[in-house]
């Protein structure tokens, strides 16, 4: 994947990638969401939301919550799924989400 800070947790059997976004607003908790990302031939990426947003007071704890959720969704991938910490990626622009 050629997107800056788009750090795949897992490549799914259909060739898509499981990715995580992490955000923080000053004075608020960190939040994460999981997406399926499909990279097209023209290097455009289409995202599909996999999870609701997780929230926690620290970046590591919210990423661990998202990781544990991903393990519940894809238990057979536990041995190959990338563990936190993840690069900070704020998520797709709203026009890219499908």
Q: 10 with 74: CB under 8 angstroms?
A: yes
Residue 14 placed within a domain? yes
Number of domains within the chain = 1
**Which domain range does residue 33 map to?**
10-90
Q: Residue 60: which H helix or E strand, with range?
A: helix 59-73
Residue 64 placed within a domain? yes
Locus of tokens 């519940």: 72
Cα–Cα distance measured from residue 49 to residue 65, given in angstroms and rounded to the nearest whole number: 16
Residue 54 placed within a domain? yes
Q: What is the pLDDT of residues 39-68, one digit of tens each?
A: 888 888 899 999 978 999 999 999 999 999
Residue 98 placed within a domain? no
> Positive or negative, the Cα torsion across 67, 73, 75, 80?
negative
Residue 43 placed within a domain? yes
The two three-digit tokens of residue 67, written as one number: 């990781």
* pTM for the whole structure: 0.85
The better pLDDT of the pair 95, 4 is held by 4
Residue 41 placed within a domain? yes
Residue 97 placed within a domain? no
């Amino acid at each position: 994947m050629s997107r800056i800070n788009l750090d795949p947790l897992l490549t799914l059997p259909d060739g898509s990638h499981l990715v995580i976004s992490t955000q923080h607003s000053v004075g608020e908790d960190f939040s994460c969401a999981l997406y399926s990302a499909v990279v097209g031939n023209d290097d455009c990426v289409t995202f599909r939301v996999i999870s609701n947003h997780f929230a926690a007071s620290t970046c590591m704890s919210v990423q661990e919550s998202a990781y544990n959720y991903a393990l519940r969704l894809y238990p057979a991938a536990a041995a190959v799924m990338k563990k936190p910490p993840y690069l900070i990626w704020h998520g797709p622009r709203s026009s890219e989400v499908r």
